[in-house]
Amino acid sequence: MTHEHPVSKPVQGRAIMLQGTASDVGKSVVTTALCRIFKQDGYKVAPFKSQNMALNSYVTPDGKEIGRAQGVQAEACGILATTDMNPVLIKPMQDMQSQVVVHGKPYLNMSARNYRSDFLPVAKDIVTSAMNRLKEEYDIVVMEGAGSPAEINLKQNDIVNMNMAKWADAPVILVADIDRGGVFASIVGTLELLEPDERDRVVGFIINKFRGDVELLRPGLTWLEERTGKPVLGVLPYANDLDIEAEDSVQLEQWKGRVDPENDLDIAVMALPRISNFTDIDPLHAEADVRVRYVRRVEELGSPDIILIPGTKSTIADLEWLRATGLAQGIEDIRKLRQLEGKETHVVGICGGYQMLGLKLEDPYGAEAEPGTEVLGLGLLPVRTSFLLEKRTEQVKGKIAAKHGKWQSLHKEELTGYEIHMGTSTHDSAGHHELLPFSQLCSTGSHEVEEEPILLEGAVSEDGLVFGTYLHGVFHHDSFRRHWLNMVRSSKGLPALPITLHYQEKREQAYDRLADLTRKHLNMELIHSYLKNEANDKE
């Protein structure tokens, strides 16, 4: 099946923007869909979001940090991500502070008040320069807004919605979520709160997450078009099986109260309050023999085969949460109980989760807590973590270094992924345990892994049941994921399974499915017309 849909008149250096009537109306997914559609139509296309607030981030090939959604959208465009696609990233921390990341590198930790008063007034040059570079390189830039353009208290220093649309000379499509109710009021109300020139910039509406017969909605659509004088460009159906990576942890709410079906292997994921880069877990959901559960209370822990502690923006705070909820003690209790029953419990920590598995965490400079703070870890790996003020962000490749016990079967399995963390973890010999590294890594494209390794990274316990790593995306590697799951299966007396899930292919197929579904329900001819050079030339 071909996905090429050529259009008659080419465009060059044009931008189009998706804004929403509220947060979480589906702007990121619709932006991803349009990125893929324009790619299918033969255009050179790139995504852009001037300012993003997210904990689920993405590392570019040159080792810079941007919002996960823009990384995913770049994949949908078939291009490599750059920081121009998300020049300003805000990563919320505790105590009303956020880390501000500018062009992929930490800039300052700031309160919301200081961000608005001190940073936003000088941010225009940063975001417009990034946009202009993209417009010079690409035919179409698909822009995404944030929240709502009608937030009156935020409009003065806006760099992400209507001001950005004006600077980019972009027509705006307003996206609204009908599933939450009040869709017509949200659209009309948003328009009413816009300035006349902003209202003129809105070229139409997309109604998202619709369930039911669209013909029953038709009278409302007719009324909306007559009331506003603007077209409804499409009504997109509700779809929760798109297999597109989520950016915001609010998406984890879809798993609250539900789990994957009963299966051979049971995985309990700690649903940390400040969870980040939770897309590390997505490939496990896709494996046919795996059941994934998100656990918030010790009563939900059960008797899992695997306990997974994911990444977090605030390791110390989330470690204290594990203790306060009883989950830290629950993890230790269930491991001992299952051992008495002759069962094995595997424990995995990724990034912040890896740090928690160690013996001690130290914060000498106040990166996460008061300077000089020291807390005990869970004590499952012989490592000590010290938080630094400089963040490591890098795409890496490597191989499994562990080769003791059952890990012999995984030794030298190839790995790719990315690191993004403030701390460094080193061997703590206080427990008199040898440090058995998880992997040997080098920067992508810098050295051959067969050479002397740049970095011995992570740790595996002496019994092989616990491993921790800084490597995000470790489960996205099909061979490692399947062979590690088979190692767990063998501890249950279950036969090994072949590799049947090719996750990157699955992602590419998901982008095409999303584009096909979206194209079916949108007036793409009209949307294309907004991008022709004469369509939005201004005086």
Catalytic residues: 351, 472
**Cβ contact 47:144 at 8 Å:** yes
Count other C-beta atoms under 10 Å from residue 447's C-beta: 14
- Residue 59 CA to residue 346 CA, distance in Å, equals 28
> Residue 476: helix, strand or coil by DSSP?
helix
- Phi first, then psi: give them for residue 59, nearest 5 degrees: -105, 125
Q: What is the largest CA-CA distance in the chain?
A: 78
280 burial via Cβ count (<10 Å: 0-12, 13-18, 19+): buried
Half-sphere exposure of 283 (CA within 13 A, CB side): 24
Closest CA to 308 of 323, 324, 320, 292: 292
- The sheet with strand 140-144 has its strands ordered as 45-48, 140-144, 14-20, 172-177, 202-210, 232-237
Q: How many angstroms separate the CA atoms of 438 and 472, rounded? A: 13
Which sign does the torsion angle of CA 82, 507, 89, 160 carry? positive
Phi, psi of 170 (to 5 degrees): -110, 130
Q: CA 331 to CA 342: how far, in whole Å?
A: 17
Distinct helix (H) and strand (E) counts, the chain: 15, 26
518 contact partners, CB below 8 Å, separation of at least 6: 30, 33, 34, 37, 234, 236
How far is Cα 345 from Cα 337, in angstroms, rounded to an integer? 10
The vertex-255 CA angle with 249 and 260, nearest 5°, equals 135
